[in-house]
Structure 1
Amino acid sequence: MSRGWAKRQMIEDLPDPAMMSLEQMKAEVAALARADEISARRWLCDRPDCDGLPHQGWLHRHARSSQRPPTWLWTVWLLLTGRGWGKSRTAAEEVREWARAPGLQLAVIAKNATLVRDICFESPKSGLLSVFPPEEVAKYNSSLGATVLELTNGTVIRGFGAEAPDNLRGWAFDKAWLDEYAAWSRHTAQEVYDMLWFCLREAEAPQVVISTTPKPLPHVKKLVERGQAQEQRYREGGPPPRVVLTRGHMRENDANLSPAAREELEEEYAGTRLGRQELSGELLEDVEGALWKGWMLEVEGFRPRREHLPDLQRVVVSVDPATKSHENADMTAFTVAGRGWPVETMFGDDRPRGYLLHCEQDRYTPTQAMKRAAALYHEHQADCVVIEANNGGDYLPALLEQVDPTVNWRIVHATRGKRARAAPTAQLYEQARIAHVGPPRVFAELEAQMTTFVGLGETEDSPDQLDSAVWALWDLFLDPTMPPPRAGDDQRLRGRR
């Protein structure tokens, strides 16, 4: 039957408006509008490799084939994808599919109670209220800390924040949706996940869908490793995996994204560590033996805005100079860093924090390098330029004074290996005391060097930006020859050259 003939037959079957009363006509129009709405809510078509765009029989945008749930009995479906892929909508639609069964108890858990309500329930494009038809909703309570959606078939969907495992104690559920699992506190996420599974202990077919942008955190990697191991056994003839991994790039959902926003995101983040994670949905693995682990660059507050910084007691410009300036020589690297006391502290930790404000590298002649150091000194109103003077670089301070005699400087000499010098700085990151301020692209090369630097001596390339950053933070926090700060006012280098 052709599509045109079917449409003609549908029109001929409609009642004759001339024979209808006004009430009948209004009812007919309402029924047609309702039929269109029901049709537009359909999510999963059966076209193989569907791209989710309108096609015959599905005149609205709907699920891509990659957004369909596994066809076998699974327990965890981990949507590990880039931003904008559609993972929240996919998870919400899966909850709706579960809720067709009457009398279920379903849990929705996000980082906190506010995000549960605003994102998982009330988001206009991907929240539960946007995918459930109004006639299926019996009651919705959106008070903070008690977000509950009751359906007409007796199924109840409850929202929880993941701040504390005890939020789930005492409940019993059949299935659950965990949103942005990688954004949960790394201190409690695994405990909340474990507590949820105790809440699923009586379910006939327990299932958990997890929608998250990946981050290299222990609780995320644990699930990924389980899924990869089960997938490998399946390829070798074993049973289908119970933990199923779905990966995806933001570009898969181009049809539903703003072209201008997508171009801006790709221009700003493509090729950076953050872009690989947030756009491509990559789970960035740690290099064995590396001093910096990926999670150290993902802690909350790691990328503050400049206007949110506290007053900085000291700011330094550190220089890791190249010993030669030909086209194959090492780069000269510069880091601008400051130290200050945070306005708000967590758990009574009132230690000072470090803030990397700028990082760059290029090939310079010695004079060009000192001119650039002086420019950064004035641009950031720094207190001092810290110059590593190994390998014959002792003349650089004299050159800096010729370039700009107003610049305060300090010369440092490396007496230990790179790894031994960098390890205490990495511990500052481990303590969540260092932040990178500014566009991620500025720190892309530095962060790549951090997460791959092992310190194998001659067999490993010299990490110029990393060396520069280490010197800056060493001067601000770790140099044993410098006296400690007093009452938050560091006078260490006043009047010193």
Structure 2
Amino acid sequence: MNLSLIQRAIDKRGLRAFTEAFTSQLVSKYPNMTDQESASYLQYFWPAYSRPQQKTPKGDWHIWFVLAGRGYGKTRTGAEWVREQVEDHGKKRIALIAETAADCRDVMIEGPAGLLNICPPWNKPFYEPSKRRLTWPGGARAFTYSGKEPNQLRGPQHDAGWADELAKWQYMDEAWSNFMLGLRGGSDPKAIVTTTPRPLKLIKELVASKTTVVTGGSTYDNKANLPQSFFDTVIKGYEGTRLGQQEIFAQILEDNPEALFTLDRIHQNRLEQVPS
């Protein structure tokens, strides 16, 4: 059990608030748990460890857009949201989309904050890389896709989805469009986007949409969980720069006025194949 993580949660919330929140959720979800099982569940109790901006927003929305800096905890937020959709909302077909197939595997699934590491042992999905699929004990399935292969998303239907680092997808517009057309399963399909921003048309449109809830913040919001050396040697070098505004503080910057081409122009003119 990760006692240091639990202690930080108690320090942040107070022992009484932590205990009440933990007990309430445990009783409602697992009324027949033994004391030993309850102790194990404690380390997977995300509501106690998450920051307010990492909690699923309330209200009627279609896209939860987590716009945040490097090291903010975007991956953990996305993975825990998927877990919540499976455990609490009965979602059965979930799309997991990253820039590449390797990113989907190495970050969203097998990474330190990926699904295989944040799901509890009693409800951990079975991962079949060759089938690009995870299957939970209750039957829910998540399917992996790549922003480099937008046609993978043409046809499949989902009732939930997690799009990671959307701003980096090579064929962002086409992949996103195919994903949205297939996000029609169940009575209330939803998606989460976790990304560091870039000044791209689609990103700006999604952030401005009335059906999008935007949360997030800077790298500094997660300082308690990151090594001080990271701030002293890496982050310090980006302070006061345009890149720092984007990568640390998650600001959507306008294109550099001295650039010959805008990022949108570059994306619009990408070729899937080299002309013969």
Quickly name the TM-score band, shorter chain normalised. Answer: 0.7 to 0.9
Distance (Å, rounded) in 1 between the aligned partners of 2:47 and 2:261: 39
- Quickly say closer, same or farther: Cα 1:112–1:210, change in 2 above 3 A: same
- SS of the aligned residue for 1:99 comes to helix
Give the alignment partner of residue 42 of structure 1, picking from 39, 42, 45: 45
Partner of residue 482, structure 1: none
1:174 matched to 2:142? The reply is no
| Contact 1:137 1:149 (C-alpha < 8 Å) held by counterparts | no
Partner of residue 263, structure 2: 295
Between 88-97 and 127-136, the greater mean CA deviation after superposition = 127-136
| Contact 1:284 1:294 (C-alpha < 8 Å) held by counterparts | no
Partner of residue 274, structure 2: 347
Of Structure 1 and Structure 2, which has the larger fraction of its residues in helix?
Answer: 2
Task: Tell me the CA shift for residue 133 of structure 1.
Answer: 1.2
**Quick one: which amino acid aligns to residue 274 of structure 2?**
F
1:248 matched to 2:217? The reply is yes
Alignment of 1:240-319 (within 5 A): 242-286=211-255, 292=260, 295=263
Partner of residue 149, structure 2: 164
Partner of residue 201, structure 2: 218
Runs of 4+ residues deviating >6 angstroms: none
Distance (Å, rounded) in 2 between the aligned partners of 1:261 and 1:138: 32
- SS of the aligned residue for 2:46 comes to coil
* Bigger Rg, which one: 1
1:82-138 CA distances to partner (integer Å, 9 max, x unpaired)? 0011111011111000001446111100011111111000012x1011111122135
- Quickly say closer, same or farther: Cα 1:292–1:178, change in 2 above 3 A: same
| Contact 2:65 2:213 (C-alpha < 8 Å) held by counterparts | yes
| Contact 2:74 2:195 (C-alpha < 8 Å) held by counterparts | yes
| Contact 2:54 2:216 (C-alpha < 8 Å) held by counterparts | no
- SS of the aligned residue for 1:44 comes to helix
Tell me the TM-score normalized by structure 1: 0.45
1:192-238 CA distances to partner (integer Å, 9 max, x unpaired)? 11111111134311111000000112221221232xxx3xxxxxxxx
Task: Tell me the CA shift for residue 32 of structure 1.
Answer: 5.0
- SS of the aligned residue for 1:154 comes to coil
**Quick one: which amino acid aligns to residue 160 of structure 2?**
K
- Larger RCO: Structure 1 or Structure 2 (Cα < 8 Å, ≥ 6 residues apart)? 2
Give the alignment partner of residue 208 of structure 1, picking from 191, 203, 206: 191
1:111 matched to 2:99? The reply is yes
Alignment of 1:83-162 (within 5 A): 83-100=70-87, 101-102=89-90, 104-124=92-112, 126-137=113-124, 139-143=126-130, 146-162=131-147
Distance (Å, rounded) in 2 between the aligned partners of 1:152 and 1:171: 22
The unaligned stretches of length 5 or more in structure 2 are 1-14, 20-33, 268-272
| Contact 1:102 1:154 (C-alpha < 8 Å) held by counterparts | no
- SS of the aligned residue for 2:213 comes to strand
**Quick one: which amino acid aligns to residue 64 of structure 2?**
W
**Quick one: which amino acid aligns to residue 50 of structure 2?**
A
Task: Tell me the CA shift for residue 285 of structure 1.
Answer: 2.0
RMSD, aligned CA: 2.6
The unaligned stretches of length 5 or more in structure 1 are 8-30, 46-61, 231-241, 300-345, 350-497
| Contact 1:102 1:153 (C-alpha < 8 Å) held by counterparts | no
Distance (Å, rounded) in 1 between the aligned partners of 2:91 and 2:105: 22
Tell me the TM-score normalized by structure 2: 0.79
- SS of the aligned residue for 2:111 comes to coil
1:382-425 CA distances to partner (integer Å, 9 max, x unpaired)? xxxxxxxxxxxxxxxxxxxxxxxxxxxxxxxxxxxxxxxxxxxx
Alignment of 1:366-445 (within 5 A): none
Distance (Å, rounded) in 1 between the aligned partners of 2:231 and 2:164: 23
Distance (Å, rounded) in 2 between the aligned partners of 1:202 and 1:86: 28
Distance (Å, rounded) in 1 between the aligned partners of 2:79 and 2:124: 15
| Contact 1:174 1:207 (C-alpha < 8 Å) held by counterparts | yes
| Contact 1:81 1:214 (C-alpha < 8 Å) held by counterparts | yes
Task: Tell me the CA shift for residue 176 of structure 1.
Answer: 0.2
**Quick one: which amino acid aligns to residue 112 of structure 1?**
T
| Contact 1:103 1:153 (C-alpha < 8 Å) held by counterparts | no
- Quickly say closer, same or farther: Cα 1:32–1:173, change in 2 above 3 A: same
- SS of the aligned residue for 2:161 comes to strand
| Contact 2:91 2:160 (C-alpha < 8 Å) held by counterparts | no
Matched positions, count = 240
Distance (Å, rounded) in 1 between the aligned partners of 2:152 and 2:195: 21
- Quickly say closer, same or farther: Cα 1:136–1:247, change in 2 above 3 A: closer
- SS of the aligned residue for 1:196 comes to helix
| Contact 1:103 1:154 (C-alpha < 8 Å) held by counterparts | no
1:61-87 CA distances to partner (integer Å, 9 max, x unpaired)? x10111112111210011111001111
